[in-house]
Amino acid sequence: MILLAIETSCDETSAAVVDGDRVLSNAVASQIQLHAEYGGVVPELAAREHLRNLMPVVQTALRHAGVAAGQLDALAATQGPGLPLALLVGFKAAQALAFVLQKPFVGVNHHEAHLYSPWIAGSPPAADFAAFEPNVSLIVSGGHTLLVHVESELRHRVLGSTLDDAAGECFDKTGKLMGLPYPAGPEIDRLASSGNPLAYDFPRPLLHEPNDDFSFSGLKTSVRYFIRDHPEVLAGSQTISDLCASVQAAIIDVLVAKTLRATRRLGLRCVTASGGVICNRALRQELTRACAGRSYTLRLADKSLCTDNAAMIGVLALRKLAHHHPLPALDEEIKTNWALG
């Protein structure tokens, strides 16, 4: 079965063609440059950019897959959560295509798709559900930090989430305090690689609380006061690197410790992770080290599938069709605050 998926929930316009387990193409047009000027995603601009990019991106995905629109067996799009105007662009376009082609349409929860992106691997990429095992899945992006128990394929339960800022937001906001360009996450990752993570001591919020929730706004505030009291730190390249490494270590310690603790508590032996922050090299290393120490299986989403992409939307949509999940009506609306589970 060949399916075209579209993702426009935030600032990436993406289209992918998936055939069974195989991802035939995954075209992504990122808007990072556009929003960098404003220091964050501007919803109205994002929607306009999706309108401009959608058809070229869809055409690219079809061309790379060697598939004509008439050969599609099904359509899918992100239905939520996300920015309303941005979601509407991809969701309504996919519904219209399904209507014209008289094919089934699947509306996908963006976070649910993140849960399965770590199972897509290889070159060319394919979903490896034969290897699936129950797991604890960590989703960390600019807007969300979620810990989820994936009990079986398509069955999951949210264990915890962030009470305030998401981990990516914490990278971006503390980076802004240091004068780094948006999004600061990749820049902190780069600078931290030559810094000392023990140079400055920052709080590890909720680390020892008996829950699976996260909170990062207190860490951001303590970085703000630290910079106010020690402005000289921003003047030296080594001290900036040390600051980046120390902030990054605080975020990573909490993410890794709480993920591993939930896995142990639930008696599971598998951890998966996805979302833009999972591109972070030190976080990938720490998760790898921690899981290896307990002989847990770790599946990290490929970096190209950590950030928003339509491949993960298409893979989940085909899984839902295969499992005969109820499909939304063709005139159903977007769900901007669609909570996982």
Binding site for ligand KG4 (CB under 6 A): 10, 141-143, 168, 171-172, 183-186, 189, 275-277, 279-280, 307-308
Please say which residue, 270 or 279, places its beta carbon nearer to Zn ion.
Answer: 279
Please say which residue, 71 or 336, places its beta carbon nearer to ligand KG4.
Answer: 336
**CB 316, min distance to ligand KG4, A:** 16
Please say which residue, 53 or 307, places its beta carbon nearer to ligand KG4.
Answer: 307
Q: Which of 80, 61, 49 is nearest to 14 (CA)?
A: 61
**CB 147, min distance to ligand KG4, A:** 16
CA torsion through residues 167, 173, 175, 178, sign: negative
- Of 74-82, 137-145, 174-182, 255-263, the segment contacting Zn ion by CB under 5 A is 137-145
Helices 237-265 + 281-293 axis angle, to 10 = 40
- Of 99-107, 119-127, 284-292, 301-309, the segment contacting Zn ion by CB under 5 A is 301-309
Residues 6+ apart with CB under 8 A from 292: 298
| 308 binds Zn ion per the rule CB under 5 A | yes
Please say which residue, 97 or 140, places its beta carbon nearer to ligand KG4.
Answer: 140
Please say which residue, 8 or 263, places its beta carbon nearer to ligand KG4.
Answer: 8
Choose among Zn ion, ligand KG4, none what residue 7 binds, the Cβ cut-off being 5 to 8 Å by kind.
none
| 141 binds Zn ion per the rule CB under 5 A | yes
- Of 22-30, 34-42, 141-149, 254-262, the segment contacting Zn ion by CB under 5 A is 141-149
Q: Which of 93, 95, 85, 7 is nearest to 47 (CA)?
A: 85
How far from the centroid of its chain's Cα atoms is residue 90's Cα?
A: 18
Tokens of 251: 């975020």
**CB 192, min distance to ligand KG4, A:** 9
Tell me which amino acid residue 131 is: A
Return d(Cα 329, Cα 74) in angstroms, integer: 14
How many C-beta atoms surround the C-beta of residue 158 within 10 A?
16
Please say which residue, 186 or 203, places its beta carbon nearer to ligand KG4.
Answer: 186
**CB 183, min distance to ligand KG4, A:** 4
Choose among Zn ion, ligand KG4, none what residue 279 binds, the Cβ cut-off being 5 to 8 Å by kind.
ligand KG4
Choose among Zn ion, ligand KG4, none what residue 245 binds, the Cβ cut-off being 5 to 8 Å by kind.
none
Classify strands 126-127 and 105-109 as parallel, antiparallel or unpaired.
unpaired
Return d(Cα 298, Cα 292) in angstroms, integer: 8
Q: Which of 87, 247, 272 is nearest to 169 (CA)?
A: 247
Helices 167-177 + 184-192 axis angle, to 10 = 80
Please say which residue, 74 or 78, places its beta carbon nearer to ligand KG4.
Answer: 78
How many chain residues bind Zn ion (CB under 5 A)?
2
Please say which residue, 202 or 214, places its beta carbon nearer to Zn ion.
Answer: 214
Choose among Zn ion, ligand KG4, none what residue 171 binds, the Cβ cut-off being 5 to 8 Å by kind.
ligand KG4
**CB 142, min distance to ligand KG4, A:** 3
**CB 246, min distance to Zn ion, A:** 27
Any bridge partners for residue 7, and if so which? Answer: 14
Please say which residue, 98 or 108, places its beta carbon nearer to Zn ion.
Answer: 108
Instruction: Give yes or no for a contact between 15 and 80, defined as CB atoms under 8 angstroms apart.
Output: no
Choose among ligand KG4, Zn ion, none what residue 205 binds, the Cβ cut-off being 5 to 8 Å by kind.
none
Q: Could you tell me where the beta strands, DSSP code E, fall in the chain?
A: 2-7, 12-19, 22-30, 74-80, 105-109, 120-121, 126-127, 135-140, 145-152, 155-161, 270-274, 297-300
Would you tell me which residues interact with Zn ion (CB under 5 A)?
141, 308
